[in-house]
Structure 1
Amino acid sequence: MAFCENLKSALKAKVSIYDSNGNIVDGEDLGFVFTKDLEYKNGITYINASKYIIAISKEISQDAINLVRMIALANIEEAAGFMQPLEYILKNDVQSETLRGRFSDYSVLYIKSKTNFKDLLESIYESTDTSIIQDDEGIYIVKVIDDLEQEADSIIDGISQEAGSNVLIGASRRVGASYTIKDAANHAKQAANLASILGFKEGFYHIDKMLMYGILYSCSDEAVEYYMNGGFNGFYDVIKDKELLDTAEELFKCHLNVSEASRKLYLHRNTLLYRLEKIKNLTGLDIKRFEEAVIFRTVVALYKLKRR
């Protein structure tokens, strides 16, 4: 940041800039101390400048402090908005206005996993323009990606071969105009989280295909209960029956083609039809019909998202 470098040169001292939560925005980390105005500690001057704390590695005079604060209030917020590193942006509350025009055409993949694959991913992307950032639930991959599903499948195959693990990957839209890198990161992570809540253990899930589930998840519990009350009682028996749920899911994957679904499940066609009839008896829905299949999938999603 030019402001930080100029201040360092003028004061002949190291300079750090922190946000009010103690996250370093720029400069060398001198150790964060929050102050509402001014504090000297261990030979370091801490100055409050609006939303930021400026740390200077020596004690400076009141005149110098006033000058630093005046310059900071005029320049630091705008400069910080454009110079915050990607990891800071993804992990902190950053205003969208400061991100517009940055990272255009980039997309975000989010690998949701308790296993740390960061070293493996860094070796895979070693010679590419890719940012790999870890948080407490998984890993962001940020880069320009032509084919998101192909990229995700490549990651899934690579991790499976190298680590023998299955992974679940969420994906964002492409950054552009008012859709910022922060929006993309949030969407990628939300897509992965929704897929996990719905019971999926692996695979690729784009935010656009998770849109309905995101809307359902954001609905209030009161609204869901209002529409579910007194109806769909048989769904609980279907949801407890993994065989019936798997049958329904395979039918949906096969675009409601009974013959193809029976082949994929290695079932006689009549056996599959028997299971579908059982679902109909329990729920009142014939999921061979498109409209009723949509209702079935929506209600199952509501049970998983809201009645865990």
Structure 2
Amino acid sequence: MSNRLFQGVIHQMKDAVDRAIGVIDDTSVVIACSELGRIGEVIDSVTTETLSASTPFVINGQTFKSFGTGSSSEYAVFIEGSDDIAQRYAQLLAVSLSSIKQYYDEKYDRANFIKNVILDNILPGDIYLKARELRFNSEVTRVCMLIKVTSKTDISAYDVVQNFFPDKSKDFVISINETDIALVKEIRTGIDSKDLEKLASSIVDTLSSEFYTHCTVGIGTVVTGIKDLARSFKEAQVALEVGKVFDTERSIISYDNLGIARLIYQLPTTLCEMFLKEVFKKSSIESLDQETLFTIQKFFENSLNVSETSRKLFVHRNTLVYRLEKIKKLTGLDLREFEDAIVFKVALMVKKYLSANPAKY
């Protein structure tokens, strides 16, 4: 597509510029030229190293100027001659073609369209119009994943994930910022959350074992219809934020499996503070020392079973009963009673949530 775009511009400019002009790609092949017979020609003297030059360079009586998207040089314009005029023409052509390509990519590039959809940068009424313009299948089943890189390395996690999903017509890997990469993946109908977690696990394992890059992955819900992709993406963001508070050991967090943590995340902080005051009427949660909190955690992990918890804590059963009585005296809640245990468990989660102060989406 870029070849046709460049050729159209070169064709319009050939009468204004009284010299042979053209464009080569990063393999030194002529992809557009005012002399049509040269299209497809390989200019061997231009190497990857010379193409990376930021200033115009002269080879075999022709002036070249590289250009591309971002910091990479994907193309170079060339013009016959090595004088000052040739250099000025080359620089003007490079700037013009770079700007035209950027505009064209933003208008017609599917990945850019998907990025605008998930970030809510496009009006809902325009989504389907744009999708039709791009011949984009709007009604297939897709899911959004958000990959957050938590360790800095020289390896580009974005490039690794892109290579993981080579089908650019169905799967879209989008750079959100320095640490966040969005994956919008087309999936078959009926796929379950375990399959999605396996896919996320393979991404985490590859980045970790082969490239020493650590990351966490948030998985949104599966959606049918392009307009719901923004919701799936926000859910992936929420999954990561909630996981950061309540599941710090896990590297893969699915929105569908957040449970009560999702409910707490959606509550206003004022309501959470009010709840803690109502639960801990006798004394605040801060009055419980670390040993007591550890005992409570183990008691919950062992399904409120006194004998099993005392065995895991390597303490006598009566010692554990004494600790539970002490907790009851401090808080007014008997953790051996199911309802009191639920209230206390939720209160601990609310306290953890307030302390973490996570971002809201």
- The TM-score range, normalised by the shorter chain, is 0.5 to 0.7
Q: What residue number does 2:161 align with?
A: 122
For 2:242 and 2:353, the matched residues in 1 are separated by 8
Alignment equivalent of 1:109, drawn from 141, 145, 170 = 145
Q: Does 1:180 align with 2:221?
A: no
Kept in 1: contact 2:111–2:172 (CA 8 A) = no
Name the CA shift for 1:86/1:252 in 2 (closer, same or farther; >3 Å): farther
- Unpaired segments of 5 or more residues in structure 1? 14-27, 30-42, 44-54, 58-78
Write the distance in 2 (CA, Å) between the matches of 1:120 and 1:269: 56
Say if 1:105 and 1:298 are closer, same or farther in 2 by CA, change over 3 A: same
What is aligned with 1:138? 180
Q: CA deviation at 1:111?
A: 2.9
**Structure 2 counterpart of 1:235:** 285
Picking from 268, 271, 279, the partner of 1:220 is 268
Question: Partners in 2 of 1:272 and 1:203 — Cα distance?
Answer: 33
Per-residue deviation at 1:106? 1.5
Residue deviations 1:136-195 (CA, integer Å, cap 9, x gap): 443323324532233333344444434566643321110125871111111001111122
Rounded to whole Å, the distance in 1 between the matches of 2:205 and 2:324 is 34
The answer as to whether partners of 2:142 and 2:222 remain within 8 angstroms in 1 is: yes
User: Is 1:283 aligned with 2:319?
Assistant: no
Instruction: Give the structure 1 partner of residue 56 of structure 2.
Output: none
Query: Could you tell me the TM-score, scaled by structure 1's length?
Result: 0.58
How many angstroms apart in 2 are the aligned matches of 1:107 and 1:183? 10
Which one of 325, 331, 348 corresponds to residue 300 of structure 1?
348
1:93 maps to what in 2?
A: 121
How do 1:239-278 residues align onto structure 2 when only pairs under 5 Å count?
241=290, 243-249=291-297, 251-253=299-301, 255-256=303-304, 267-268=314-315, 270=317, 276-278=324-326
Aligned counterparts of 1:269 and 1:152: Cα–Cα separation in 2 = 43
Change beyond 3 A, Cα 1:113–1:178:
closer
How far the C-alpha of 1:281 sits from its partner, in A, is: 3.9
- The residue identity in structure 1 corresponding to 2:224 is G
TM superposition score normalised by structure 2: 0.51
Q: Secondary structure at the match of 1:294?
A: helix
Distance 1:302 1:174, change over 3 A: same
Deviation, 1:275, is 5.2
Provide the C-alpha distance between the structure 1 equivalents of 2:316 and 2:160, rounded to a whole number of angstroms.
43
- Work out whether residues 161 and 203 of structure 2, in 8 Å CA contact, stay in contact via their aligned partners in 1: no
- Tell me, what secondary structure is at the counterpart of 2:243? helix
Maintained 8 Å contact 1:168/1:204: yes
Distance in 1, Cα, partners of 2:320 & 2:227: 44
Task: Name the SS for the 1:148 alignment partner.
Answer: helix
Please tell me whether the aligned partners of residues 81 and 99 of structure 1 are also in contact (alpha carbons under 8 angstroms): no
Query: 2-side partners of 1:225 and 1:167: how far apart?
Result: 32
Runs of 4+ in 1 over 6 A off after TM superposition: 79-83
SS in 1 for 2:258: helix
Write the distance in 2 (CA, Å) between the matches of 1:104 and 1:177.
6
Q: Which residue number in structure 2 is paired with residue 33 of structure 1? A: none
Specify the SS of the correspondent of 1:93. coil
Structure having the higher Rg: 2
Task: Note the aligned Cα RMSD (angstroms).
Answer: 5.0
The SS at the match of 1:86 is helix
- Equivalent-residue separation in structure 1 for 2:314 and 2:336 (angstroms): 17
Matched position secondary structure for 2:237: helix
